Structure 1
Amino acid sequence: MNEQQYLFEHYRFNAEQRLKAFNFFVVLSMFADGGVFTAIEKGFHPIILMLLGGFVLIVSAVFWVMDVRSRQLLSLAVPGLKAMEQQLPEPARVFCRDDHGQSTFIRYTFAIRALIAGQFLCGAAVVFYGVLGLFNLL
């Protein structure tokens, strides 16, 4: 395996892992949210709501950390790939071209983190709702 293959495989593997982790987060979040809505609809005890909301908070925090680490691993290969791109014609230098004109919001990172943060806020709201329900029982 030469240097180019090594860097490319490192980048490809970590990019795939990041997307797989995000897909798993979305599926797990759908089930957790379904549990929360069912618990609210059926009038479960507020402690159950607090536990479900806490689970959503933990899942969101864990996937946030995983996404940060995935980005770090991806960024390790970029300098080497950019250096290798210098041998290619200008239109083929995708990593170098990506540096120019990047939008802050039109990025996978923004979309992934916005969804994780939104899920985290929903989990916090469910915990808060459960706490309010617990105080109403007292």
Structure 2
Amino acid sequence: MNEQQYLYEHYRFNADQRLKAFNFFVVLSMFADGGVFTAVEKDFHPLILVLLGGFVVIVSGVFWLMDMRSRQLLNLTVPGLRAMEQGLSAEARVFSRDQQSHSRFIRYTFAIRALLLGQFVFGCGAVVYGALSCFGVLPVGGQ
């Protein structure tokens, strides 16, 4: 395996793993959110909301860390890939051209982190709602 293949395979593998982890997070979040909504709808004990919300918070934090690590691994290869691109035409230098893009919002990282943050806030809300309901500050269910 030469240097170009090594860099390409490293980048491809880690980019693929990052997207697979994100897809898994989306599916897991749907089930966890469904559990929270079901617990509210069916008037389960408020402690169930605290536990489900805590689970959503923990999962969001763990996937945030995993995404940070995936980005670190991807960024390790970018300088080598940019150096390799110098022998290509200007149109084919995708990593170099991407570096010149100044949009912070049109990126996978922004989309992934927005969803992770939204889930984290949702989980915190479920924990607070469940805790306040446990202590009688908020009425449980439709009561």
TM-score range, shorter chain: over 0.9
Structure 1 residue 51 corresponds to structure 2 residue 32: no
TM-score (norm 2): 0.94
Q: Write the deviation string for residues 77-133 of structure 1: whole angstroms up to 9, x where unpaired.
A: 000000000000110000000011230111100000000000000000000000110
Structure 1: which amino acid aligns with 2:41? E
Structure 2: which amino acid aligns with 1:100? Q
Matches within 5 A, 1:30-109: 30-109=30-109
Partners of 1:69 and 1:110 lie apart in 2 by 15
Tell me which stretches of 4 or more aligned residues in structure 1 moved more than 3 Å: none
* Paired position in structure 2 for 1:118: 118
Partners of 1:43 and 1:101 lie apart in 2 by 50
Structure 1: which amino acid aligns with 2:54? G
Higher helix share: 1
TM-score (norm 1): 0.98
Unaligned stretches of 5+ in structure 1? none
Aligned residues between the structures:
138
Structure 2: which amino acid aligns with 1:95? F
* Paired position in structure 2 for 1:14: 14
Q: Write the deviation string for residues 7-48 of structure 1: whole angstroms up to 9, x where unpaired.
A: 000000000000000000000000000000000000011111
Structure 2 residue matching 1:106: 3-state secondary structure: coil
RMSD: 1.2
- TM-fit CA distance, 1:135: 1.3
Q: Percent identity over the alignment?
A: 74
